[in-house]
Structure 1
């Protein structure tokens, strides 16, 4: 059997579950998340401080409807932020984001309270997407959704917002980075591909991000977790490629042109889905959580649980 060393870059991927939580999800590094949020909101809201919250809220109907966030935190003034990273297209992603946001709004009323005046704290969700909405245009990667008056476009309610960032549509080169948001999005999209620190990001604040993200600074346990993530990711990609090739071979055996098209389509769909399920089963036996498995395989959480 041919042995080979898995390729590994200098920096971890900040849009992976492991990388995102390592860079943004710890008390010691919350200044990084605060800066990102303040750059993103650009004066609409100023975050002075943050407290990290639990990343799971239970729904009222059943445990199957629990909300599991990538990151949830509360600002110094009580405002709440959900940051979601979604690597693969999901059919009901917008619905899920609304449900997550609504769960934080719902939970602001304390059980047993008799004289609540509906004074809600602001709730914002930020979705970092490694795919694009089907109805978005090529030149728009930032979607800031607010409650507006349809008649005149004026803001109706200033304590709720959804912000979606389509990372594939952010195409600026290093020489084109002019704003703080440009630099953050370039860093998030390209960090794992860099072998040196770009001159435009040679600032004291970004130095901390690079130190945290550098693979050589991971402890043994973190390095094992990162290697395990990479191995599953590459195995999954290789399996997907193999399944597609096999599906194409099966499709060709159907004979006629229409048969080839249908055979390729059906064979590819069946082969890819079975491969995803097998990868999910393998990851479950290795102790990966359902959200990470869903991120890597593209399966829904329900499909992961039933695999």
Structure 2
């Protein structure tokens, strides 16, 4: 079809283009509303959303720019920020906190103001795991808590994290809308037809929007570029993890020989992994940035995907 090599039928939602086409466009707003409502499990029902500007600066022009994947406001004036975290980031929790400051500060009013704030939701769809203690615990909902009473201290700031690699339910095991949405996000690019378990009208819309064969030439080329960037990023992560594993084992064996104790091997393995991961990520980030720069990607987008500074990217040949 128009010379396209359609190996997949549906887009990969982990790509920047795919995620924003499904959840960041006015025409597909009902998809975002359904997904968010499924996350809230009936605590709140959103009937309408308004998309907001996704680019934000800090308190001064010199501050680093924050670019959100999807940023919107519901009918109550509550802010909802949805981020697709495509690969492991060393400080992804810090990033979430930093991003939360923007919808907080923009509510400030001039003159007399009583500091009353609207609710804020930060939703992170993670294509990696950060909690290794429980393989079944993948839906994290975080709020400020009083350590003594164990009660929620402030309920207007909510962080929701979804560790997608931990969600392994099959089509036959899907019962709730929440499970169905996670199944779609996890498996969409691997599907060749719409699963029978997903018969709700909203999924009819999703599969229509996600079908690559229906893209215009401009959309298809944009998706291909986005898919290439995602694959580069994934390769960067995979390479870093391979280096970390190798370095970790070597460090663990060396430490074990020196002190002859099991604890020493564990500590060496941990240090090796951390050091290997750091070095591997940096090396692959530079390689990816150089490739993207050659292809003419904007500096801001390269910074976002590689976490390199503007100066580091500018100096690349």
Q: TM-score, normalised by structure 1?
A: 0.82
Q: Residue 79 of structure 2 contacts residue 120 of structure 2 at CA under 8 Å; is this kept in 1?
A: yes
Secondary structure (helix, strand or coil) at the match of 2:197 reads: helix
Give the whole-Å Cα distance in 2 for the aligned partners of 1:86 and 1:183.
Answer: 20
The farther-off stretch of 41-50 and 163-172 is 41-50
User: CA 1:114–1:135 in 2, change beyond 3 Å: closer, same or farther?
Assistant: farther
Deviation at 1:39, TM superposition (A): 1.1
User: CA 1:165–1:289 in 2, change beyond 3 Å: closer, same or farther?
Assistant: farther
Deviation at 1:272, TM superposition (A): 6.6
Give the whole-Å Cα distance in 1 for the aligned partners of 2:159 and 2:234.
Answer: 31
Instruction: Give the aligned partner of residue 126 of structure 2.
Output: 129
Instruction: Give the aligned partner of residue 177 of structure 1.
Output: 174
Q: TM-score, normalised by structure 2?
A: 0.79
Q: Residue 34 of structure 1 contacts residue 47 of structure 1 at CA under 8 Å; is this kept in 2?
A: yes
- Answering whether residue 227 of structure 2 is matched by residue 220 of structure 1, we say no
Instruction: Give the aligned partner of residue 68 of structure 1.
Output: 67
Give the whole-Å Cα distance in 1 for the aligned partners of 2:295 and 2:151.
Answer: 51
Q: Residue 14 of structure 1 contacts residue 20 of structure 1 at CA under 8 Å; is this kept in 2?
A: yes
User: CA 1:171–1:63 in 2, change beyond 3 Å: closer, same or farther?
Assistant: farther
Give the whole-Å Cα distance in 1 for the aligned partners of 2:47 and 2:308.
Answer: 35
State which of 137, 148, 152 in structure 2 corresponds to 1:151. 148
Q: Residue 127 of structure 1 contacts residue 164 of structure 1 at CA under 8 Å; is this kept in 2?
A: yes
Secondary structure (helix, strand or coil) at the match of 1:146 reads: strand
Q: Which runs of 5+ in 2 are unaligned?
A: 248-252, 255-267
Give the whole-Å Cα distance in 2 for the aligned partners of 1:244 and 1:161.
Answer: 31
Deviation at 1:242, TM superposition (A): 8.7
Deviation at 1:188, TM superposition (A): 0.4
CA RMSD of aligned residues (A): 3.4
Give the whole-Å Cα distance in 1 for the aligned partners of 2:157 and 2:234.
Answer: 38
Give the whole-Å Cα distance in 1 for the aligned partners of 2:13 and 2:71.
Answer: 17
Instruction: Give the aligned partner of residue 190 of structure 1.
Output: 187
Q: Residue 34 of structure 2 contacts residue 202 of structure 2 at CA under 8 Å; is this kept in 1?
A: no
Q: Residue 86 of structure 1 contacts residue 295 of structure 1 at CA under 8 Å; is this kept in 2?
A: no
Instruction: Give the aligned partner of residue 26 of structure 2.
Output: 27
Secondary structure (helix, strand or coil) at the match of 1:39 reads: helix
Secondary structure (helix, strand or coil) at the match of 2:115 reads: coil
Deviation at 1:67, TM superposition (A): 2.0
Instruction: Give the aligned partner of residue 78 of structure 1.
Output: 77
Q: Residue 145 of structure 2 contacts residue 152 of structure 2 at CA under 8 Å; is this kept in 1?
A: yes
Instruction: Give the aligned partner of residue 95 of structure 1.
Output: 94
Cα-to-partner distance string for 1:46-94 (whole Å, 9 max, x where unaligned): 2121110001221115534332211110111100000011111111111
Cα-to-partner distance string for 1:193-214 (whole Å, 9 max, x where unaligned): 1111111013322011001001
State which of 279, 286, 309 in structure 2 corresponds to 1:302. 309
